[in-house]
Structure 1
């Protein structure tokens, strides 16, 4: 009886106390972030996209021997940022130009609390607006985690545009406008030179959800975000990230990367909106069959590069797509976890740039 009462007291304290505790200070000063994050910030810039400041990095090929260099566009996932690619940036630059940005709500980009749904549809809109603003014409697009879902939303629009193209040509301009919200703008008609998906929850029913994901995406999500921001429990999220690293990863290096992910989550108050950031999972469940239709009729090279030890996005996911994505190439990476580009950057570079061959 005493144990039960003590347990109830602890639970009650966890429920009540956060409402009376002050918010933890929100870091708005880049100079207070770890040195590695500050260095990354200096390589990019903030640009206004659809009314919000979006952080991006756009660098030209560093190899003068490369004639007419290709462009690599990288799309990061949840709960991280473009910093995921910091170990592979220089290697990619030896092969071509590189562009990446932080989605709104992540990394160095704005993190609005109100009037923003953090849906995959909005993320796709902002991707397209950002790519166009920087004048990107053609690209080999590489996505990871949530980025896979954002990319499939964009490809679904491309699929609709292609399917309806002949019919729309017969309509007048005002009728054409009615189609535009669900279609890819003409600017991107020849944008995709290749598509590479890596380690994302592209089949909702096959995702091995972490406890943190389930809590944040539940009806109690707003409460958990509040508890995280006030009690510093965002550090508990570190254990969730550790569980999706490869089994033979260097422990010190892993903890260093996780600390950077956590610091960039906290920056600008991102910890307070974690339940909003994970909203994309509901979009994943709702829209994925529309996206599957687009993938089944792809007319550009498609690759699935997947780690064998990913605890959250298992190999059953790419194997599901193997049966109906025409001509797609499937590669299994041995002895790596969810963050393949961080765990084995040299190997990641070889596989990603192999598309150029």
Structure 2
């Protein structure tokens, strides 16, 4: 059965706000306050509305938490800011503190959010946060397997500031069409919503600053990969196989580097599995969580 999504207007109306380092951040929560917390981390260049198909089904079981990260969606997009994945991890921890979330936190991440999740995983091993599990959707877990589209490369170049200002809905659609599955491309209404999120607060003007996450991933590679290799936190990858950025080739590298890898490939699905095949993502995520239940852990 197809999952019912949430319109962007309704999603926006449900948002709440708090201040992080002087910047206005929009966030969302749902589910019982005493349920296990599940932190959802969105990707570039969109926002936490990416999770709207999964939001209510997950909220029936967990306390779901998500925010539009600094520079994204309905949150502040300061000009001239030195955006950093490490700062975005600080933001996630500040949000959890704001919500008085204590104890272990589960994480479900996508794309840019995968890198933030990797930083949180490294901090877990440093005793700075307690993660209960982490599931990655398509993202650049390893710089050597990340194949950015031309637009991403150009945003990093000297023409990046101009390119960002000239970015449009048409260009967004063209780029999304390249990374979605051939049979699961974003609808016109979805593209409209994605563009609304990007264009809010003159977002295209900071895209060339946000894209600096790509070299930051290279700088942090050893620390982040080591964190994934240490064990102790259950991990799973649920990946759209035909994604040209971080599809089956990324999963192959994950299987080489991570002991006892838990991976799921979604055939025919591209870079946005949570919107292209939300029912499949939900099923594989819930199966992962079910396997973590104490009653399913073998004794002896």
By the TM > 0.5 criterion, same fold? Answer: yes
CA distance in 2, matches of 1:283, 1:156: 15
Does 2:84 correspond to 1:135? no
- TM-score, normalised via structure 1 length: 0.76
Tell me the matched-pair count: 284
Alignment map for 1:129-208 (pairs within 5 Å): 129-137=94-102, 138-159=104-125, 161=126, 184=128, 188=129, 191-208=130-147
Does 2:20 correspond to 1:87? no
Point out where structure 1 has 5 or more consecutive residues left out of the alignment: 1-34, 63-67, 163-183
Change (3 A) 1:328 1:135: farther
Q: 1:234, CA displacement in angstroms?
A: 4.8
CA distance in 2, matches of 1:223, 1:82: 26
Does 2:231 correspond to 1:298? yes
CA distance in 2, matches of 1:139, 1:300: 11
Q: 1:205, CA displacement in angstroms?
A: 2.2
Q: Which of 224, 227, 234 in structure 1 is aligned with 2:163?
A: 224
RMSD: 1.8
Counterpart residue number, 1:59: 30
Does 2:172 correspond to 1:237? yes
CA distance in 1, matches of 2:24, 2:150: 31
Change (3 A) 1:205 1:255: farther
Counterpart residue number, 1:73: 39
**Does the CA-based 8 Å contact 1:46-1:55 persist in structure 2?**
yes
Point out where structure 2 has 5 or more consecutive residues left out of the alignment: 1-5, 291-300
Q: 1:208, CA displacement in angstroms?
A: 2.0
Counterpart residue number, 1:289: 222
Counterpart residue number, 2:15: 44
Alignment map for 1:1-20 (pairs within 5 Å): none
Counterpart residue number, 1:118: 83
SS in 2 for 1:335: coil
CA distance in 1, matches of 2:198, 2:240: 24
Counterpart residue number, 1:210: 149
**Does the CA-based 8 Å contact 1:206-1:314 persist in structure 2?**
no
CA distance in 2, matches of 1:246, 1:224: 26
Which consecutive segments of 4 or more residues in structure 1 shift more than 4 A? Answer: none
- TM-score, normalised via structure 2 length: 0.89
